[in-house]
Structure 1
Amino acid sequence: MKVAKHLLAGAALLPLVAHAGLSDRGGLSGEVSVIAGVISTNSNLSTSGSAVKDSPLNSEGKRETDSLFGGLGSLAFTFGEGLSKQVFVGTSREDIAVGTLALELGYRQQLESGTKVSVSYLPTLLAQDVWADPFIVDTSRSETEKSGDAFRLKLDGIGGSLLSLDLAYAQMDIDTELSGAGMGLTTGQQQSLARSGDTFYSKLSYRQFLGRGLGVTPSVVYLKNDADGDAMASQTLGGELTYFSFAGRNKIVLTGKYHQRDYDAVHPVFGQTRSDTEYGAFLAYEYSQLFGIKPLAFITLAGFTNIDSNIDFYTSNQYIASLGVTYRF
């Protein structure tokens, strides 16, 4: 589904105050959410809008606005002495609250040192429709699928501290890679546009409390995209800052990010090496005990992401706003 990733990104499931173990009770727990909202983007790479890219090629795309509606949920089974072991499936509240898509199946354990170790498999992190050849103008472009598997290791509260490390490795494959096929490129130039490959991700975070239920989490992010094509391979370095506030029934998480992404080789279509600056902000809000019902909560998220590229074709921005209801059990 084209909008599946937007539904996940729009669910404002906020992180809870930490328990002594991995949960406040043993056994099965989870949540189910129903959300609705809108998303607007002008990305030339998005398949949710028109299949025709108007001339000239090196220009920003048309803005398209779509509605979104759907549901999602998560399940966890907590067990062991001190509720220190957990099997889980679904989307992490912490990830979604900062605008990250991650559907996981994994195992988590809290060590005696206080470190929470999570190992997970992300089967649909990268699955989405993309253009087989994004560089066709004034003619309808055909779609293909980008799919892949990812594996993740998270260390939260390392040694009982407020330091966390998030590591991931992903393999991505384009089913039908035709990038630049209609541009009269040489075989070598066309191969440099191959998007399949491996991605390595790392994020180091430190949670600093500023008061009761109030704090900030600065993070440093490094990502290496080792694509098969040199013009598509890149390295990203950036920072993120999350502010969180839990006061009574109200929970707020506000995250800002700034990433610099540099590519390895000259783009054969545009004749220069691509360089992107990406920044954005996400505001997630939750009001618990909706209508006085303890397991029911109102949730909402609003955010934007902007990419400024030295190649206009890749310059884009996206806005999203959603609201919904979550039931926890």
Structure 2
Amino acid sequence: MRLKGISCLTAGILMSYSAIAQPLSKEAGWEFTLSLNVGYSGGESQFDTDSDNETTNDLNNNGQSQSSTLAYPLGRVQYTLDSLKTQFFLGNSREQVSTAQFQYELGIVHQFNNDSKLTFAVFPKLSMLNETWEDPFLVGSDRQTTDEKVGGGRIAVERIFGSPLTLKYAIASSSIDNERSGQSQLTDASEIASLQRDSVYQRVEVETLFPVAKGILLKPNLQYTHRNAEGNANSYDNYTVQLSILIFRDRHTLITTINAGTRTYQQINPIFDAKQNLNHAGIFSIYSYKRPFDWDRWTWTMMGGYSQENSDISFYDSKSFIVSTGLLYKF
């Protein structure tokens, strides 16, 4: 399943208007947002745990091509205090720091009089829908899945002192229940240890926002992510540049984000006797139309995305795409 990209895209719809200064909510009290979606996804990755990808005949390919239809609900619950300046929320995380596919977060956001906002959020270690192979390098036999648990927190300071500048920091830890990476290929204990995937991720982001025409804004973003894995062959530094184009026209909203980056690993991977470097790029787009057929509280959404990773080691090459449509309702 490729719910990581879906979750981020839909969460972007749930929070799309947070990019421009406005009250956290129009009125105090509870608000519920539910999004019901159907779509189609596919791609190629050795770490896709679909059943057709259980067996690999060699380590010089990036997995079987997979595609599937899907249906999924996503949502957000929030409570705004009478001042309309403080809000508590629970919903799908749009600030992924690690490899988790699906994550909920609980947080609080406060808006100051100068329109700046401070957000704290935590996401507990859950294994729901997050799984990986026990030993990704097993050849000629069915690979077994195991749960991956991810938890952490984040802080964001948006529109600092009323300016268009935003700073974000996030940290997450991940653990694999049954970690057997490399045990089918290696006998040296130190080499097997270098493939351990339990990790701590840290990410720092800086972004800004500026108008280019009426109803059109640009949001550039720079990210630095450091993964400190228990096995140094999986530790890396990742640099990403991202640009979002936001278009608002009456009931219509279109947000398109393009990104590109590079990832440098710290140590030679003993399976391939090479140190991995990787380039990645992607494009994601979300369109929403408020009050279709003049239905109050409803929003129609269309989403699509494509991402690709090109590694020095072909085993780690991957590509994925998602197209989806659905209806969002605010209670």
2:108 — aligned with what? 107
What CA distance in whole angstroms lies between the structure 1 residues aligned with 2:169 and 2:82?
Answer: 26
1:73 partnered with 2:75: yes
What CA distance in whole angstroms lies between the structure 2 residues aligned with 1:59 and 1:217?
Answer: 36
**Deviation (angstroms), 1:62:** 1.1
Give SS of 1:46's match. Answer: coil
C-alpha distance 280-174 of structure 1, shift in aligned 2 (>3 A): same
Q: Could you tell me whether the CA contact under 8 Å between 2:6 and 2:322 is conserved in 1?
A: no
C-alpha distance 120-305 of structure 1, shift in aligned 2 (>3 A): same
What CA distance in whole angstroms lies between the structure 1 residues aligned with 2:196 and 2:284?
Answer: 31
**Deviation (angstroms), 1:56:** 2.4
Instruction: Please list, as runs of the form range in 1=range in 2, the aligned pairs for 1:192-231 lying within 5 A after superposition.
Output: 192-231=194-233
Residues 107-153 of structure 1 deviation map (CA, whole Å, 9 limit, x = unaligned): 11112343200100112577511000000112100111110211110
Give SS of 2:284's match. Answer: strand
**Deviation (angstroms), 1:9:** 4.0
**TM-score normalized by the length of structure 1:** 0.93
Q: Could you tell me whether the CA contact under 8 Å between 1:7 and 1:70 is conserved in 2?
A: no
Residues 222-251 of structure 1 deviation map (CA, whole Å, 9 limit, x = unaligned): 000000001000110110000000001110
1:154 — aligned with what? 156
1:241 — aligned with what? 243
- Please say which of residues 190-199 and 52-61 is displaced more in the overlay: 52-61
- Bigger relative CO (Cα 8 Å, ≥ 6 apart): 1
- Please say which of residues 38-47 and 17-26 is displaced more in the overlay: 17-26
- Please say which of residues 219-228 and 122-131 is displaced more in the overlay: 122-131
**TM-score normalized by the length of structure 2:** 0.92
**Deviation (angstroms), 1:48:** 2.0
C-alpha distance 70-132 of structure 1, shift in aligned 2 (>3 A): same
Give SS of 2:161's match. Answer: helix
Give SS of 1:23's match. Answer: coil
Residue number among 247, 252, 268 corresponding to 2:254 in the alignment:
252
Residue number among 44, 53, 56 corresponding to 2:55 in the alignment:
53
C-alpha distance 294-151 of structure 1, shift in aligned 2 (>3 A): same
1:86 partnered with 2:87: yes
Give SS of 2:293's match. Answer: helix
1:120 — aligned with what? 121
2:140 — aligned with what? 138
Identity %: 26
Give SS of 1:231's match. Answer: helix
Q: Could you tell me whether the CA contact under 8 Å between 2:8 and 2:94 is conserved in 1?
A: no
What CA distance in whole angstroms lies between the structure 2 residues aligned with 1:59 and 1:208?
Answer: 43
C-alpha distance 166-126 of structure 1, shift in aligned 2 (>3 A): farther
2:295 — aligned with what? 293
What is the identity, as a one-letter code, of the residue corresponding to 2:67? Answer: T
- Please say which of residues 9-18 and 84-93 is displaced more in the overlay: 9-18
Residues 141-181 of structure 1 deviation map (CA, whole Å, 9 limit, x = unaligned): 01111102111101111111111112101011011110000
**Deviation (angstroms), 1:93:** 7.0
What is the identity, as a one-letter code, of the residue corresponding to 2:269? Answer: H
Give SS of 2:138's match. Answer: coil
Residues 41-87 of structure 1 deviation map (CA, whole Å, 9 limit, x = unaligned): 21001102424333221212110101110212101111143x11110
Residue number among 20, 23, 29 corresponding to 1:21 in the alignment:
23
1:190 — aligned with what? 192
**Deviation (angstroms), 1:293:** 1.0
What CA distance in whole angstroms lies between the structure 1 residues aligned with 2:86 and 2:8?
Answer: 27
- State the aligned residue count: 323
- Please say which of residues 67-76 and 123-132 is displaced more in the overlay: 123-132
What CA distance in whole angstroms lies between the structure 1 residues aligned with 2:294 and 2:69?
Answer: 30
Give SS of 2:45's match. Answer: coil
2:7 — aligned with what? 8
What is the identity, as a one-letter code, of the residue corresponding to 2:7? Answer: L
What CA distance in whole angstroms lies between the structure 1 residues aligned with 2:258 and 2:108?
Answer: 29
Q: Could you tell me whether the CA contact under 8 Å between 1:237 and 1:261 is conserved in 2?
A: yes
1:326 — aligned with what? 328
Q: Could you tell me whether the CA contact under 8 Å between 1:3 and 1:68 is conserved in 2?
A: no
List alignment gaps of at least 5 residues for structure 2.
Answer: none
Instruction: Please list, as runs of the form range in 1=range in 2, the aligned pairs for 1:156-175 lying within 5 A after superposition.
Output: 156-175=158-177
Give SS of 1:190's match. Answer: helix
- Please say which of residues 164-173 and 120-129 is displaced more in the overlay: 120-129
2:285 — aligned with what? 283
List alignment gaps of at least 5 residues for structure 1.
Answer: none
1:179 — aligned with what? 181
**Deviation (angstroms), 1:300:** 1.2
C-alpha distance 211-38 of structure 1, shift in aligned 2 (>3 A): same
What is the identity, as a one-letter code, of the residue corresponding to 2:80? Answer: T
What CA distance in whole angstroms lies between the structure 1 residues aligned with 2:131 and 2:122?
Answer: 21
